[in-house]
Structure 1
Amino acid sequence: MDNRIFNLHDIFLIITIFEVLLLAAYRTVHRDKNSAPGNWLTMFLLVVAIDMVTNLIMWNPEFPLQGWGRDRLLALLFAFSHFARGPLFYFYVRSLLQEQKHLGRSDWLHAIPVLVALLAVVWLGVTTTDLQSRADTSLADKLASGLWYFSSVVSVAYACWCVLLLNRSVRQAKQRLSCLPSSEIAWLVVLSLCFLVSWGWSVLVICIADFIGGTVADTVGTSHNFIRFLLINGLIFYNLACTWTLHAKFTGDEGAAEANPVSAEVLAAIELGIKSQRLHLQPSINIEEFAERIQQPARVVSLAINRELGTRFFEFINQHRVEHAKRLLADPSCEHMTVLDILLASGFNNKSSFHRFFNRLVGMSPTAYRRQHLNAE
């Protein structure tokens, strides 16, 4: 006689639950002064753990939990975890990208779906059996079916919101930072998209269960355990490897990430790279290559340009390119050179960026600048 409570699919879910709880415990113990991302992540992980434990018990009739605990408590935990996971993931991502010490009044609106779902479950007496069958024969059954669909759609919407927030934050950061943590950003994008796929998979599972059923529904449903297993392991890796760097960059806390002040030696090396090595005239120069050529760490160079020079790397480079172009345009001996020749000689690699920067920094077109200075002579 087979007395096993859990099958292979359940084992993957149990391992994932333990990993989630271990990461939550780690984040609780390992606190830094910028603890907001860690706090939101801990709450999100606990809700994810509740979600998976509820799923594990709900679909396992052999699990030793009966009576009120199985009928009513599981239904309440289901409603809470399914509606809270999306907002908490959003707050976690936002805390990495924006410095916000306290919740605003509008932030509390995110709790409304959770409260409404819990009140509906209590008021109409939705049970675990209703959530499992969703037979649509009573008001409780209809509400149970609605909870499945609506909670999954809400989670997917929050995942999409996180992707859009990340895209907007990157565009804004590019205006004030010369060096963005591209690997950390890529990981966060991947994680947001993975949660989008995972919660979108939940919608697929529900639809298949309602309209197809049978072994197909069981296969698609159990495969979700493997998806969550991979997703949580990715989250663990990202959190341990990348979170602090990303938070320091996006919130402008570069002084905390780089405690040592910028030395005069670094500023002198940057000036030498421009005046002697003329690195700005290389069209494909980036901050990593620039830093390597002047024998300084890229992070220190980025900090010096941001904090001491009050600009970002590409703005800094293009300013010097424009100054070089101005000298060529005003030099009678270079009158034979076309504007295209001059922009290429100045380190620009296309007309549009050259004209855009030149007009913005000089206040007139390159042709007008050349005409004004050559005629004056």
Structure 2
Amino acid sequence: MTNQETRPDTHVCADGGLPGPLAAREDGVPVEIITARDVPLGGPRAMNVRRTLPQRQRSLIGAWCFIDHYGPDDVAATGGMDVAPHPHTGLQTVSWLFEGAIAHIDSGGHSADVLPGEVNLMTAGAGICHSETSTADSGRLHGVQLWVALPEEARHSPERGFEHFVPEPVGFPGGSALVFLGSLLGSRSPVATYTPLVGAELRLDPGAELTLSVDPGFEHGLLVDTGGSVTLEGVHVPKDALGYTGIGARTLRVANGGSEPARLVLLGGAPFGEEVVMWWNFLGRTTEEISRYREEWEAQGERFGRVEGYVGHGGPGRNREGMSRIPAPELPPVRMRPRKNPPPHAQLNG
């Protein structure tokens, strides 16, 4: 998924010492609450997404650098998703759906439908472009779009990778899980990552509580999709918000105190020690790199290749706004300044 903000923020993500302003704690592992901001996904009938990363409060959780949460969205009312070809560098996109279907085509020659419970991971490396369009039979769209920052040794690779995996459900008393990246609850995903990561969908029955064994070297974020009474380590995590825990925990307690089932997404990973400049759909290391990526995309250079076979909601090769590819926004007329990521520990009020 592209970031279609016309004035995208610049993020330079690194270890640092800035406190997060929204946090809470009870007896147990400290938990920091990160609330979402609404971002329209382009067009006059824009589908809104709820973005929890990146924020001024925190830019990275492990190598996870972008979390968009959307739906349930009535495709008949909004027109659904129609994202024309757009570029990426230095990252992996991770698509995970709860409802609906999205047709993916990329310049690596890969095409696939993103379906509920099936992870699609695309590796940009030095450069890739892709399109994403909700299919005609999608009544509702509901899911998350995630990005993972690539480390220095992987980000220059010319390979345009793509992986698809359907995890088997893992049952536990009071619920089940789908582990799409890394390992959790005895389940391991075969999908390749370049830094240690975990990603899983968790479902908790009403009144259920789960104690997860986790890697103490990981920081974690728990996104609440459904369920109004979810707690992480005894701390209430509101719907659409992210509960963050830093490194050091060997277990995490998750509970659903409500009368309806809860659906959650757990993301975690080892702290990402490299400085990352993120602007629009590009991850690089300097202002000069970002500027070069933008120039090459606008010039339709070979770095990104071409999407073949894109059929948008405006007809073959066009989205409903008549675009065959998404142009890059104008770069800000200033040098991109660092925005330090807080240390890998929950930041508490007071």
More strand by share: 2
**Looking at both structures, which has the greater relative contact order when contacts are Cα pairs under 8 Å and sequence separation is at least 6?**
2
More helix by share: 1
TM-score bracket, shorter-length normalisation = under 0.3
Q: If you compute each CA radius of gyration, which structure gives the higher value, 1 or 2?
A: 1
Q: TM-score, normalised by structure 1?
A: 0.22
Q: TM-score, normalised by structure 2?
A: 0.23
